[in-house]
Amino acid sequence: MPGWNATHIPDQSGRTAVVTGANSGIGYIAARELARRGASVVLACRSAARGRAAVIRLRAEVPRAEAEFMALDLADLASVREFAAAYGSRYGVLDLLINNAGVMALPYGRTADGFETQFGVNHLGHFALTGLLLPRLRAAAPGARIVNVSSGFHVLGRIDPAATDLADPGGAHGYRRWVAYGRSKTANLLFTHELSRRFTAAGSPITAAAAHPGYASSNLHSGASKLEGPTLNSRVAAFGNAVLAQPTSSGALPTLYAATAPGVRPDAFIGPRFGWRGAPAPFWRAGWTLDDRSGELLWAASEKLTGVSYAALPR
């Protein structure tokens, strides 16, 4: 694993991948490198203009790439359902689902379905998408993988999956955007844990793993910095992006490793070797993201909130 980089990605010919939020940053790099190794890649993006522009750019960088844009707004469950239906009508199988898209440290807001935005987009949107695409993943097994992109910032937000206000705790009055971001990233890891447990119980060969990019220069970080305004925190964040952050191409490596490297274990959490930068390696995670009961409760609540059932997977 030391020194692992994009040149080590195994041949992906004949495989199909969906990468959410692939119009820029880590998602774009992941889509490009998968396409470079022969995968047929769907860039699932909210903005049609940015998504189509990303496909044009990708094909210019990888002339033989098989890549297309498909519209997906994770803040709207109707859009998630439309994407899954459209994908199913065009592709028989799905070998790789990278749940990469996300928002970070936004002011308080709600999704089209009334969920707090960060929890709604980062967790519930991807939970619904994965469930709706599960038949396509099962058709591709063995070898199919799901990668949920989390963050080291999951430590900022422990959640109570049994809470009646799980999708909007405290409303605007009790909202703290970094805590809300941490909660959504904790949810990503709990989802991965419970998904892996259920795949094992079902005897499924699908692997679910998680990754985080470390401190990578990306639109996600710069967008969060802009929200701070001209404060000390924003200046420190801007300095970190300019001087300390690793390139986006390096930040994408943990995701690509989790998605393609042989021997990735179910429920693995892959991040940079040195925490904020470095080659991909197994990464520490808070103990509450490995709690079976919390995983079960979050799963049940997520099914109820999204209306998406994973009936084929036993508890």
Tell me the CATH number at 209: 3.40.50.720
Q: Is residue 292 part of a domain?
A: yes
The one-letter code for the residue type at 252 is: A
Q: Is residue 221 part of a domain?
A: no
The number of domains in the chain is: 1
Q: Is residue 239 part of a domain?
A: no
Domain coverage including residue 154: 8-216+248-304
State pLDDT tens for residues 88-145.
Answer: 999 989 999 999 999 999 999 999 999 999 999 999 999 999 999 999 999 998 999 9
CB 128 within 8 A of CB 306: yes
Handedness of CA 302, 305, 306, 311 (dihedral sign): positive
Q: Is residue 113 part of a domain?
A: yes
d(CA 238, CA 132): 38
> Within the chain, which residues score under 50 in pLDDT?
221-237, 239-240, 243
Q: Is residue 83 part of a domain?
A: yes
State pLDDT tens for residues 165-182.
Answer: 999 998 999 999 999 999
Q: Is 91 a catalytic residue?
A: no
Q: How many residues does the chain have?
A: 315
Predicted TM-score (pTM) of the model is 0.92
Of 231, 218, 232, give the one whose Cα is nearest residue 25.
Answer: 218
Give the pLDDT of residue 278.
76
3-class secondary structure per residue, 1-70: CCCCCHHHCCCCCCCEEEEECCCCHHHHHHHHHHHHCCCEEEEEECCHHHHHHHHHHHHHHCCCCEEEEE
Q: Is residue 186 part of a domain?
A: yes
Which of 28, 87, 108, 181 is catalytic? The answer is 181
Q: Is residue 309 part of a domain?
A: no
Q: Is residue 231 part of a domain?
A: no
Give the pLDDT of residue 215.
73
Give the pLDDT of residue 216.
59
